[in-house]
Amino acid sequence: MTRPTTAMRRAMAEAEVGDDVFGEDPTVRRLEEETASVLGKEAALFVPSGCMGNQVAIGVQARRGDGILLEEFSHVAYVEVAALTALLGLRLLPLHGDSGRLAAETVAAGFVEAERQGPIALLELENSHNWGVGAVYDREALRRAAAPARERGRPVHLDGARLWNASAATGTPPAAFAEIADTVSVCFSKGLGAPVGSAVAGTQALIREARTLRKQFGGGMRQAGILAAGALHGLGHHRERLIEDHRRARRLAEAIAQVPGIRIDPATVVTNIVIAEVMPHERVQDLADHTATAGVRLLVFGGPGRFRAATHLDVDDAGIDRAIDAIATAARALGLGRP
Ligand SMILES: Cc1ncc(COP(=O)(O)O)c(C=O)c1O
């Protein structure tokens, strides 16, 4: 939802460009170098979307027919399943997590069971976790979850679409998370506010292969420096402010927890994602429609009767006040929570 800021638009308008399919766009190169450096990896590749970042990273580490282990509500399992099966020919082996986070025993048992059916190429983890109310693995928990793959010599892909948020929430540098994985995908849209763009990072050799797969997927972009400039601006200017989004999300959660007919445990809100449950469940779309008339958009998402609200660059403290007011007004108008 986030719109590029004036400063970001200016950086985009003034970007130096070239043909990136020939590796000649200086701004894309700079973005790839800075991203690799922030993530502590040898190389990075600019891709149009988070989905493509995950697909090319997984695609260069698995062969057709291989299985991949991942959490059942991960973005890859839930949204990208058709790409993984139809385009890459992979088997998905979903595991049960705690708000999206996998325990080491679950992963180890998953390997044992799944390997009976055929080879497992890779473990996929997500930090922060979208469906898990933006839940975060701290570094040690992520290392433990990855350990069973490491012990078997299998690669780990980290879907870090919101790794910047995980980092802001824990104070752990992105590279300290990325170190645990062989490949990491990150988004410059979402929290960093760029209009388009993601990246995948890993070794030089893997990123070379990822570049070829990106082209096969139709993701080669020409004068892409205009987009890379927006991403670079977000990377340089919008990471430190993410804690403000987190603080506002918590305030929103605490306020709507008081609204009759809305259920949420504010303690679960540690990043910018708020997921609440509407009672009765069948009124959730009515609630979202009602708040939309006041300019507050809620996404019906995350399970029966649930909606998601996400704080971002365009939402200030007054915006949170408006959101609280719109949700309370809608719940009253719909008679939620009345016996
Ligand atoms: C965890 C996660 N990974 C990947 C993506 C995909 O990103 P995109 O929409 O840029 O393809 C999303 C999008 O919401 C996401 O939440």
Tens digits of residue pLDDT in 24-63 = 999 999 999 999 999 999 999 999 999 999 999 999 999 9
HSE toward the beta carbon, residue 258, CA cutoff 13 A: 8
Decide: 124 in ligand 1 pocket, CB within 6 A.
Answer: no
Do 207 and 254 lie in one domain? The reply is no
Do 249 and 158 lie in one domain? The reply is no
Decide: 129 in ligand 1 pocket, CB within 6 A.
Answer: no
Do 120 and 253 lie in one domain? The reply is no
Hey, what are 335's tokens? 């008679």
Query: What CATH number is associated with residue 83?
Result: 3.40.640.10
CB 28 within 8 A of CB 187: no
End of a domain among 185, 208, 236?
Answer: 236
Give residue 330 CA to ligand 1 midpoint distance, Å: 29
End of a domain among 236, 252, 267?
Answer: 236
End of a domain among 214, 236, 258?
Answer: 236
Cα torsion at 170, 175, 176, 178 (round to 10°)?
100
Q: Tell me the C-alpha to C-alpha distance, in Å, between residue 84 and each of 51, 68, 128, 148.
A: 10, 10, 21, 22
The 10 Å CB-count burial string (b at 16+, else e) for 300-333 is: ebbeebbbbbbbbbebeeebbebbbebbbbbbee
Do 157 and 253 lie in one domain? The reply is no
Give residue 206 CA to ligand 1 midpoint distance, Å: 21
Pocket test for ligand 1, best of 70, 75, 99 (most atoms within 8 A of CB): 75
Where in the sequence is the domain holding 175, given as residue range(s)? 6-236
Residues composing the chain: 339
Do 223 and 247 lie in one domain? The reply is no
CB 76 within 8 A of CB 131: no
**Looking at the 3D structure of the chain, how many domains does it have?**
2
Do 198 and 270 lie in one domain? The reply is no
Give residue 111 CA to ligand 1 midpoint distance, Å: 26
Do 45 and 181 lie in one domain? The reply is yes
Give residue 165 CA to ligand 1 midpoint distance, Å: 14
Give residue 50 CA to ligand 1 midpoint distance, Å: 5
Decide: 272 in ligand 1 pocket, CB within 6 A.
Answer: no
Q: What is the pLDDT of residues 115-163, one digit of tens each?
A: 998 999 999 999 999 999 999 999 999 999 999 999 999 999 999 999 9
Decide: 130 in ligand 1 pocket, CB within 6 A.
Answer: yes
Q: How far apart are CA 31 and CA 21, in angstroms?
A: 15
* 338 domain-assigned: no
Do 57 and 38 lie in one domain? The reply is yes
Q: What is the pLDDT of residues 205-262, one digit of tens each?
A: 999 999 999 999 999 999 999 999 999 999 999 999 999 999 999 999 999 999 999 9
Do 219 and 253 lie in one domain? The reply is no
- Is this model's pTM higher than 0.95 or not? yes
* 200 domain-assigned: yes
Decide: 198 in ligand 1 pocket, CB within 6 A.
Answer: yes
Do 210 and 66 lie in one domain? The reply is yes
Query: What CATH number is associated with residue 268?
Result: 3.90.1150.10
Q: Output the average pLDDT for the chain.
A: 97
* 276 domain-assigned: yes
Do 216 and 275 lie in one domain? The reply is no
